[in-house]
Every structure is written in structure tokens, then in C-alpha cells.
Amino acid sequence: MDYKERVFVKKIGDFKKDNTPEFCAAKCAELNYDVVGVQFGQECWCDHVVPQDRSPSENHCNKPCNGDSSITCGGAWRFNVYEQKSGQYIVI
């Protein structure tokens, strides 16, 4: 869940055509971040720590990724969150 006081420290940008979790993870990795959040289909966010508020909201993460409509990229004020483990990003 996200709030007006953002739970991720770094917004990489809004990617209206390319955003997927993998695309966002690559952008975050370039800046040495290992936690990734995708939101509202097009937003890419990064951080060094997993957000503390990880309230389950699977039914609210319903916005298709702009780069691949077969997967979801969060929702309105909701993140799909991934963390790098052993060189891979996993859903948390």
C-alpha cells in the first residue's frame, strides 16, 4: 500500500510503453537499488529496504503493466514489490 508520503524513496519515472517488473528492476539495478515497486501500470520505484507497510492487497494490484498487459504492475496507490535475492528479483 502507498500513501501521500511515499513508501519508496526513489521514483525512476512513468513509462507509458515499457514498464514491467523486469524493466523497472533493470532501471533500479543501474542505480544500485535492490527493492523494486511497480505501480499503476506505468510507475517504477526503487529503494534499499522493503517498505514496512506490506498489507496484503492482491485484489487491488489489478493494473496491467504498460509493457506487458498479461502481468500486473500494482494499482491505484498499490505496489507490486520485488526484492533481489541471489541475483533474481522475487515477489514479496
Residue 92 clears pLDDT 70, i.e. is over it = no
Contact 43, 61 (CB under 8 A): no
pLDDT at res. 30: 95
What is the spatial distance between Cα 20 and Cα 10, in angstroms, rounded to a whole number? 17
pLDDT at res. 22: 93
Cell numbers 511515499 correspond to what residue? 6
pTM of the model: 0.85
pLDDT at res. 91: 66
Contact 8, 46 (CB under 8 A): yes
Q: What is the pLDDT of residues 28-81, one digit of tens each?
A: 999 999 999 999 999 999 999 888 765 655 678 899 999 999 999 999 888 899
